[in-house]
Amino acid sequence: MIMKVAIYIGTEHMRSDERLNLLVAQLEQSGCTTYLTHTGEMLQEGTDVLLSVGGDGTFLSAALIAA
């Protein structure tokens, strides 16, 4: 089964962060499909996992989306 992973980022500048890009590459190499989401965006249909990348506020915002 292929897992669909949403990665919630706190700010748009995170899109160019090499650590985030490495995480995405490793997830995709392991067979996951990934997409990035940001403030105000809904999760795509069929999302299995939501990861939060950022600080405490990012985590809390992601928790609201997941709920």
**pLDDT tens, position by position, for the chain (67 residues)?**
799 999 999 888 888 899 999 999 999 999 999 999 987 778 999 999 999 998 899 999 999 888 8
* Confidence (pLDDT) at 23: 96
CA 46, CA 7: separation in Å to the nearest integer? 14
CA 2, CA 60: separation in Å to the nearest integer? 27
* Confidence (pLDDT) at 11: 86
* Confidence (pLDDT) at 20: 95
Element (H, E) at 9: strand 4-9
Q: What residues have CB less than 8 Å from 35, skipping those under 6 apart?
A: 4, 5, 6, 7, 44
* Confidence (pLDDT) at 14: 87
* Confidence (pLDDT) at 39: 76
For residues 43-56, b (16+ Cβ closer than 10 Å) or e, as one string? eeeebeeeebbeee
